[in-house]
Every structure is written in structure tokens, then in C-alpha cells.
Copies of this chain bind each other. A is one copy, B any other.
Amino acid sequence: MITLYDLLLQDDRRASPYCWRIKHVLKHKGLAWRDEPVGFTEKEKIAFAQSNTVPVLHDGQTVVKDSWAIARHLDAAYPDKKLFPDEAALAYAQFVAGWVDTAVQPALFPIIVGDLYGRVRKEDQPYFAETRGKRLGTTDFAGFQAKARDKGVPAFRAVLEPARRMLRERPFLGGTQPAYPDFALIGAFLWARVASPLELLEADDPVAAWRERMLDLHDGMGRKAKAA
């Protein structure tokens, strides 16, 4: 029995980009799981994992925190449909995930933070305001977002350029089939989609066509997720 602890926003919305990576891995492997939603201020639910953040995975006797460690655990424990069959596949996945963490998501955060705040559960808003307010230097998230978008949207699109080059030549970052690099990047787009109505991409962007393909996967798992 696998349990995934997933971040909970208002109205059962699920925005965590790191949890989306793991939901794609689970589906990729054909694994069923029990969903355990965790609000920002319900850290006690994941304290058993010595973790302060989701995702946390409870798989039989094994407890794993951190999306990268969870992906590696799942790939080792359930070797069908290997995500990391060799050193190159592992390195590619880790590099793209690191790029999403440190370039893509930081470029996205300022342009959706106001919408994100609006989707956080009322009881979690003070927590969000305190932690994210410290990071941004303001708790006027709507105002911050409005100002950030002029330069922030083109900057976000520019950051995507390495992925765009790949996707001009192949349907997925993984090649003919989606792989962990795709799961890492779609996680960022689902984070945005669940929280914000902002259209991030130009219609003719190869990344936009790829996003549609990713939203279709697994009977439209991403597309069916409650969006903004």
C-alpha cells in the first residue's frame, strides 16, 4: 500500500509541483496509491517522516521524503517501465529537475504568487503570508504579481528556451515517450494552472503543444485537476 502526502489548497486543489512529479511517476509505473492531503499548517501529518514539506511517500515499511529521493525509490522498488535505466537517463532527469527547481519555478513564482495566495486555504493564509512575505519583502501578493508580470512573463518564456529547442525536434523531453524530465517540467506548469488563469505561453510555442500532450497523459490526469 502506497500513500502519497500531497499539498492541499482550497476546494481540494492540488498545486505542489513536486507532488505532481511523483503522481506522474506513480501513473507511469501503473501504481495505485492512497491520497493524503496536507494543508500548509498541518505539518504534524508528515512529522513521522521527519519532513517539513511534501511530498512524503509511505510505501509499506518504507518512508521517503523529497521528490527526487521518492522517484529513485519508486524506480528501484518497481523496476517495470524504468525511469532511470542507465547513468545518462539518471543524469538527464536530475539535471532537468534541478533546472526546473532553480530556474523555471523561481521565474514562475513572482508572476503567479497573488493568484496562489488566493487559492490557499483560509486557515493557511497567515502561514503563506509569513513565509512567502519574507521571501518577497511584501505581503501585497496581488500587487507584487501585477507589477512582476510585464517583465516576468517574457523572462519566464526565455528561461524555457532549452526545453523549447528539444521540443522542436521530439514530442517529449524524454524523446518519443514522456520521462522524468517531462514530469519535472509539467509539475511547474500544473502548479501554475491550478493556481492562476494567467496564460504563460504563446499559442505557437512548441512548449505549449507539449503541455497539451502532457495534460492528456493518464486519461487526462493533469487536465482534470481542478484549475484556476
Measured CB to CB, the residues of A under 8 A from B are 85-89, 91-92, 94-96, 98-99, 101-103, 158-159, 161-163, 165-166, 170, 173-176, 179, 181
A-B contact pairs, 8 of them (CB 8 A): A87-B174, A88-B175, A91-B92, A92-B92, A92-B95, A99-B99, A102-B161, A102-B162
Q: How many copies does the complex hold?
A: 2
Given A86-B86, A88-B89, A159-B103, the answer on whether A94 and B165 have CB atoms closer than 8 Å is yes
Given A87-B175, A175-B87, the answer on whether A95 and B96 have CB atoms closer than 8 Å is yes
A86→B91 CA distance, assembly (Å): 13
Shortest A23–chain B CB gap in Å is 22
Q: Out of B87, B98, B174, B179, name the residue touching A162 (CB < 8 Å).
A: B98
Chain B residues near A170: list those with CB within 8 A: 91
A165→B163 CA distance, assembly (Å): 19
Chain B residues near A92: list those with CB within 8 A: 88-89, 91-92, 95
Given A86-B86, A99-B99, A103-B103, the answer on whether A91 and B166 have CB atoms closer than 8 Å is yes
What residue in chain B is nearest A68 (Cβ atoms)? B165
Contact A162 B103 (CB under 8 A): yes
Shortest A71–chain B CB gap in Å is 15
Shortest A110–chain B CB gap in Å is 15
Chain B CB within 10 Å, residue with most, of A85, A87, A88, A94: A88
Chain B residues near A174: list those with CB within 8 A: 87-88, 91
Given A86-B88, A103-B103, the answer on whether A95 and B166 have CB atoms closer than 8 Å is yes
What residue in chain B is nearest A100 (Cβ atoms)? B162
Shortest A96–chain B CB gap in Å is 6
